[in-house]
Amino acid sequence: MVPYQRGRRSFVKLSMSKRVSRTAGPSPFDLHVSHQCKTPADGNGRNEEAHLAAEIEDPNRRDVLVLAANAFAAVGAASLIWPFVQQMNPDAGAKALASTEIDLTPVKEGQAITVMWRGKPVFIRNRTKDEVAAAAKTPVTELPDPEVDAKRVKAGKENWLVMVGICTHLGCVPKGQTMADSKGDFGGWFCPCHGSHYDTSGRIRKGPAPRNLEVPPYEFVSDTKIKIG
Amino acid sequence: MSNHVSTYNPQSRFAKWFDERLPIMRLVHDSFVDFPTPRNLNYLWTFGGILSFCLVAQILTGVMLAMHYQPSAEGAFNSIEHIRRDVNFGWMIRNFHAVGASMFFVAVYIHIFRGLYYGSYKAPREILWILGVLIFLAMMATAFMGYALPWGQMSFWGVTVITNLFSSLDGIIPGFGTAIVEWLWGGYSVSGTTLNRFFSLHYLLPFVITGLVILHVWALHVAGQNNPTGIELQHKSDSVPMAPYAVMKDAVGMFAFLIVFAWFVFFLPDYLGHADNYIEANPLVTPPHIVPEWYFLPFYAILRAIPSKLGGVIAMFGSILVLFFVSWLDTSRVRSTKYRPIYRWFFWLFLFSCLALGYLGAKPAEGVYVFWARVFTAYYFAHFLIVMPIVGLIETPSKMPRSITESVLGPGGGGAGTPAGAAAAPEKR
């Protein structure tokens, strides 16, 4: 096999093949001739190398074409990859902020309910006066994720605590919603997966979880009804 | 080719170290860079590369669609609409896949007819050809099961009709055909169970095809490529290195193909499908006129041309099985139809028959359509079983060039890579 010579001046126009053949010279496909192309043609003009030299394309023009074509192909490939990646992202339907309205009337003091919002459990607890007081007087500076209780509830509705019921450690659902559940060392919630203890404000107190339980966007649409989302 | 000496020369110390442990770069270099490619290949030879692209594209888009598709009788139809409407760029990926199936068959048919015209099935390429027929069969199975997945009316009734073909075996052993069909269905009718297994196999078969393609390319690289003259490579001057010559030509062919591909994807995505497949599958209502996808129409026409149920099934499968034996049915010692003045006419007649069968397969099985379907079915088989053996024996081939180089440069043209000084007395070939 003839080794293909890499180099700017090694390109020989393929269309010349028939013409050169008349001279019974070397095949243009034998690219050893490309070395000879570099040598300037002699003045007599009888050397067929002169023909070859004349047929060499302008390397600058070729370089521009190759560069432009490759750049165009790269942009094309990149723009094709984008939809292929994007198809795995949540679509508009999943992204739509589905909001849920919940009637709080049946939830008596000390009780809790769990509702679904965006496919996640949301804890709603009607806290007792003791629980609210305990949450309020906790020294914030000692907490792993300092946050005052007042910022986690709505003013005037301090007994209602609304949180996404997903442990901030690795996504388990903490215990503490039902009477029989262990509520952890701080009377709030306890995650059985890796032992995170949350207090009556849903703040992390002990264990591996880095942050307090998340409070979702919600508002009171009436005295006894909230809208999450 | 098998006797081709490796010219791979690792450039860095790491490349050399790696090459001594896993010579994969050497394999790629010797198979796809410095592989001797006949210098006279025309654009029909670009379809091998195009088909490799099609396979990869179908697998990629298929994997993405499977992320959103639900293979159940209840969910399938709606999940396709979900993909088309909700999934980010789902419409585009789905069109790539559906149109891609058609484009795959366009390319494979051109590839097959190119092989038939230039005698690419002849020694020493018999195994190469047989592997190709196996790939074609696997493609048909994959496409058929893929078409079932949208669970529209055509999906459902297409599956019903094609799986029922096996019930014709009742004509040989009573009850055997029915047992086979119920086994295929996983029930007593086409149901969600059937759909579920079709999805599983539709996902599996492309990887079987990939394996066959690797063997196909391997066999190709042992025998070397055929070329428009059908003459083997004899001299250095007969070939050019695959890169950049054949690679660039393949790229040109590929881009032309992709323009057509993109045109269908973006402007006519449903043109090659059937409108009835946008009606959800209903086991109680059969569409008035069931047709398979266009690429199966010639075989469907053969099936319907035979008046007996079992006979039709045998003829349809026979029309593909006969391809396995082409290497031995053709008795001519000349490969390329270019140099076969008699056979050439039969080749075009055969191509016309296939196209005519495709047209007739889309028409209702009645009246004059059945008559012509029988005529062309008869010729389809006669071409392989009568024309190929006999014409090969009685035909006098036209004058052939002595080498590939001569076919390109004319008699006495070119040199066999001889130095300029020796060119005055070119060696006789």
pLDDT digits (tens, 9 = 90+) for B178-194: 999 999 999 999 999 99
Please list, in sequence order, all residues whose beta carbon lies within 8 angstroms of the beta carbon of residue A220, skipping any fewer than 6 positions away.
A154, A157, A226
Distance from CA of A70 to the nearest CA of B (A): 12
A-B interface: how many C-beta pairs under 8 angstroms?
93
pLDDT at B3: 60
Of B89, B241, B414, the CB nearest to A87: B89
CA distance B294 to B306: 20
Q: What is the pLDDT of residue A142?
A: 83
Q: What are phi and psi of B337, to 5 degrees?
A: -65, -20
Give yes or no: A194 in active site: yes
Contact B138, B205 (CB under 8 A): yes
The predicted model gives B311-320 an average pLDDT of 95
In this complex, which of A2, A22, A33 lies closest to B236 when CB atoms are compared? A2
- Long-range (24+ apart) CB contacts under 8 A made by A179-188 are A187/A131, A187/A134
Question: Any chain B CB within 8 A of the CB of A85?
Answer: no
**CATH code for the structural domain at B34-152+198-226+241-275:** 1.20.810.10
Q: Domain boundaries in chain A?
A: 26-88, 100-228
What pLDDT score does A54 carry?
A: 52
CB contacts of B412 in chain A (<8 Å) are 24
Q: Do the two domains B34-152+198-226+241-275 and B294-399 of this chain adopt the same fold?
A: no
Residue B165 has pLDDT above 80, yes or no: yes
Cα–Cα distance for residue pair B204/B162, rounded to 1 Å: 20
Name all contacts of B13-18 with Cβ < 8 Å and 24+ positions apart.
Answer: none
**Nearby residues of B276 by Cβ (< 8 Å), 6 or more positions away:** B152, B153, B154, B287
CA distance A175 to chain B (A): 33
Q: Is A216 on the interface with B (CB under 8 A)?
A: no
Please give the structure tokens belonging to residue B292: 């398979």
**Residue A190 bridge partners (DSSP):** A175, A197
Q: Determine contact: A137 vs chain B, CB below 8 A.
A: no
pLDDT of residue B86 exceeding 90: yes
Q: CA of A25, closest CA in chain B: separation in Å?
A: 6
Residue stretches of chain A with pLDDT short of 50: 1-46
- Work out the mean pLDDT of chain B and round it to a whole number: 92
pLDDT at position A55: 56
B221-260: pLDDT as tens digits: 999 999 999 999 999 999 999 989 999 999 999 999 999 9
CATH architecture of B294-399: Orthogonal Bundle (1.10)
Does domain A100-228 match CATH 2.102.10.10? yes
pLDDT at position A17:
42
CB count within 10 Å of CB B302 equals 25
Rounded to 10°, the helix B297-305/B309-321 angle is 140
Q: Where exactly are the structural domains of chain B?
A: 34-152+198-226+241-275, 294-399
A80 touches chain B (CB under 8 A): no
pLDDT at A194: 92
**Is the pLDDT higher at A118 or at B55?**
B55
Residue of A1, A21, A88 with shortest CB distance to B36 = A1
Chain A: give the shortest CA distance to residue B10, in Å. Answer: 15
pLDDT of res. B428: 40
Q: Check residue B313 and give its pLDDT.
A: 93
8 Å CB contact between B111 and B51? yes
The catalytic position among A32, A51, A169, A194 is: A194
Give the percent of chain B with pLDDT over 90.
Answer: 87
Of the listed ranges A168-182, B137-151, B190-204, the least confidently predicted one is A168-182
Backbone angles phi, psi at B37, to 5 degrees: -110, 130
pTM of the complete model: 0.81
The model's confidence at residue B348, banded by pLDDT at 50, 70 and 90, is very high
Q: Which residues of A touch B413 (CB under 8 A)?
A: 18, 21-22, 24
By Cβ distance, the residue of A2, A84, A91 closest to B64 is A84
- The answer, yes or no, to whether ipTM is higher than 0.85 is no
Mean pLDDT check: name the lowest of A25-29, B14-18, B107-111.
Answer: A25-29
Question: What is the per-residue pLDDT for A19?
Answer: 42
Collect contacts of A95-99 with beta carbons under 8 A, ≥24 apart.
Answer: A97/A229, A98/A229, A99/A227, A99/A228, A99/A229
Q: Is B221 in the A-facing interface, judged by CB distances under 8 Å? A: no
**Are the CB atoms for A170 and A164 separated by under 8 Å?**
no
Stretch B204-221: mean pLDDT = 97
pLDDT in tens, B377-423: 999 999 999 999 999 999 999 999 999 999 999 886 554 444 443 34
Band the pLDDT of B156: cuts 50, 70, 90.
very high
Residue B245 is predicted with a pLDDT of: 94
